[in-house]
Amino acid sequence: MKWNKYIILLVVSLLFSACGEKQDLDTNPAQFYALVNEVTNTMVHDIFSPPVASRVYVYPNIAAHEILTLQSDKYSSLAGQLTDLTSIPKPQDPNINLNAAAIIAHHNLSKQLVFTEDIISSYTDSLFRSWEVINKQQFKASKQYAQQVTDHITAWMSKDNYAQTRTMPKFSIQTNDPSRWQPTPPAYIEGIEPNWKKMRTLVLDSAAQFKPEKHPEFSMKENSDFYKELMEVYEVSQSITKNGDQSKEIQIAQFWDCNPYVSVTRGHLMFATKKITPGAHWMGIAEIASKNNQDSLDDAVYAFTKTSIALYDGFISCWDEKYRSNLIRPETLINQHIDEQWKPILQTPPFPEYSSGHSVISGAAATVLTQIYGDNIPFDDDTETKYGLPVRTFKSFNAAAEEAALSRLYGGIHYRAAIDNGLVQGKNVGEHIVKTVKLKKDVLAWEKN
């Protein structure tokens, strides 16, 4: 009888617990990583250009970050720190789970910014259903609040000039000037995003704030600095291809290719192979660093947000210079004057040469990640394994940025000045973001050392 009594008490206790207060929604950084990865997969599918991809990353991250700061004693709001951003609405319902609301708001904005929404929803639908089962009231309140924040960020986002740039004139090719950029094979695509410099910056005073040092003056005279840089591209290409595709330089070039649209011709058939953008590669590195550091959700969102801000302003800075310099690519000049059969190891992207986009955004992202996690933090970069490329190991974020920049020379698509000056340009952008945007209320990581 005594054991029956205990069993009855246990059953009553379990029933009371089940009917009582429900548990909080289960949220963790892995859900955030998975969501961002689905956004990346969607952008690969939809073929977003590198500058536009940076916009797709930054606004959802900012929305999530702003929500999480409401419960954080480590991170402060970006309102008043980013151009025209005002404070998000304050939560009123005590049932709101801010972690869940941050992920939902990220999801909402991401779906607004891509074409194929179903790829993102294939992950979030199951996640949100599981939350609704755990605590329907909390999920409903969090979802409603996330929509309020989504609307707030959407209104701010709508004034960044993106819509206006969709209707601005296309790039005009100047064929009468031998120094000016011309479309390159095999698809001869027109210059993409010639008006990106008119996008509203987030932290920079203007697109031209960190205008790089001018490239060597165009000249085809053999003793000129420009001609020497042109010949370096050709000679490096000839040297590293002697041993086939297994040379370390070619492997580096392929690892950092990150060309979202590579045209492939087979007889009369032309098709595209799709890959991640340069910004997506660095968002992947941010994820690796965050996982290695065992970040909490707010720590992870902070890292992604600041990295994406660096990428976004970095692309605006770079594209401002690209269409100001309007410099011809090595492939065009080598085919015209040196070797008409020559092809670069990487396919030349469809926009002017100077400065190197990889160099600028890698310098910016590496500088921000170094501020967050520290210098000389080694990591294994497996971002490109899904595209059949092996893992590469780096001793620091800056070392990865330097290799990313140099890969453009090995790939045969940039001159030395675009690489070196572009890296400086990007680091200047990154350092300005580190000094200007104070996301942490405590002391910056590198001020502790």
Q: How many domains does the chain have?
A: 2
Give me the pLDDT at residue 301, please. Answer: 98
Q: Is residue 205 part of a domain?
A: yes
CA-based torsion, 143, 45, 304, 166: positive or negative: negative
Which segments of 218-268 are extended strands (E)? Answer: 262-266
- How confident is the chain (449 residues) per 10-residue block, as mean pLDDT? 41 39 90 98 96 98 98 94 98 98 98 97 96 98 98 98 96 90 94 97 98 98 98 97 83 96 66 87 98 98 98 98 98 98 96 98 98 97 95 98 98 98 98 88 46
Same-domain check for residues 134 and 223: no
Who's near 442: CB < 8 A, 6+ residues apart?
Answer: 74
Q: What is the DSSP letter of 382?
A: -
CATH number at residue 313: 1.10.606.20
Same-domain check for residues 149 and 216: no
Give me the pLDDT at residue 262, please. Answer: 86
User: Of 158, 177, 211, which residue sits at a domain end?
Assistant: 158
- Residue 45 sits in which domain range? 23-158
Closest by Cα among 293, 302, 286 to 365: 286
Give me the pLDDT at residue 442, please. Answer: 42
Give me the pLDDT at residue 21, please. Answer: 55
Give me the pLDDT at residue 274, please. Answer: 86
Distances (CA, A) of 315 to 308, 365, 417: 11, 11, 18
Q: Is residue 192 part of a domain?
A: no
The single-letter code of the amino acid at 234 is Y
Cβ 179 vs Cβ 327: under 8 Å: yes
Same-domain check for residues 303 and 414: yes
Same-domain check for residues 353 and 438: yes
Helix (H, G, I), strand (E, B) or coil at 160: coil
Same-domain check for residues 129 and 254: no
Same-domain check for residues 404 and 263: yes
Same-domain check for residues 99 and 227: no
Give me the pLDDT at residue 7, please. Answer: 39
In order, the DSSP letters of 146-200 are: HHHHHHHHHHHHTTSSHHHHTTSPPPPP-TT-TTB----TTT-PPPS-TTGGGSP
In order, the DSSP letters of 85-113 are: --PPPPP--TT--HHHHHHHHHHHHHHHH
